[in-house]
Amino acid sequence: MAILVLGGAGYIGSHTVRALVESGRDTVVVDNLQTGFREAVHPAARFYEVDIRDRQALDRVFEAEQIEAVIHFAAFSQVGESMVRPLAYYDNNLTGTIVLLQAMVAAQVNAIVFSSTAATYGEPERVPIMEGDRTLPTSCYGETKLAMEKLMGWAGRAHDLRSVALRYFNAAGAHPSGEIGEAHASESHLVPIVLQVALGQRDAISVFGDDYPTPDGTCIRDYVHVTDLAAAHILAVDHLLAGGSSDVFNLGSGNGFSVKEVIEVARKVTGHPIPVEIAPRRPGDPAQLVASSAKIRQALGWSPQQESVEAIVSSAWVWHQAHPHGYRN
């Protein structure tokens, strides 16, 4: 029996695929390569270039493979873009998930782990954020992910589908081999953008707002290493395959770092001055997002191995130095 990874050619998806293969799991990948890269997919995984909104193509994958569980990464994920392209985000994220669940029900596959997000919380009521806290997204991206969570809940009631939603905070870093890492055609994440400055690909890093109600005025985020995220997805799959019930878990280190603090760490790691330019705030950006991951640590035994921001940035730096243009080198 195989694990089907949707969006397995993307950043977090490709790291999870590698972790599955390295743990001896039979792995199947579906990706439309709109934002992912075929080169990122482990050669031992069977690959299908399919858009999950294409029901017939998805049905053929389920017919060709013996799937026991699904890991779902296939979604648009940029907060700023979602605010100006809401229809595209609802179409891709929510419509794609509806089609996927229809195909799963038809194929009698009833276990799914999917990547949700801290953006479902919006401006937090408290820090660190607990899973039971209010969910009031401030971005279209967060709204689509919350809608996906609710959809899976209702599908679970109607079709005996069990799901785990992993609300992760800021994924960063790269695989220790340096063979795969973060690469986007249009980069919006802090760590790779800072490292692009160090590589001479950008003149400066734009800091979007320095007037937030935080100690240094810049947004605070909780950074979690991508390989630790991958490990959590596998633990969640095993939980469901063992008969575990549906649940929601935060994935974060529990430590918050401001944009300015991350830039300082990058200066230390790279030896580059990394000039800063202050820019207006971006719509949809909460001031502070820091997770409590106590629930998943206790319930699934998740234990992140690389919690320091310096270790995360250092692993990303190894990848970006070796692949300054991502998979297009």
Active site residues: 141
Which among 133, 179, 196, 205 is positioned nearest to 324, based on CA atoms?
A: 196
Q: Both tokens of residue 317?
A: 């730096």
Distance CA 202, CA 66 (A): 46
Cβ-Cβ contacts under 8 Å for 110 (sequence gap 6 or more):
104, 159, 160, 161, 162
* Contact yes or no for 307/253 (Cβ under 8 A): yes
Give all strands of the β-sheet with 26-31 in edge-to-edge order: 46-49, 26-31, 2-6, 67-72, 111-117, 162-168, 247-251
Among residues 226, 140, 222, 224, the alpha carbon closest in space to that of 183 is found at 226
d(CA 175, CA 66): 28
Nearest-angstrom CA–CA distance, 73 and 50? 14
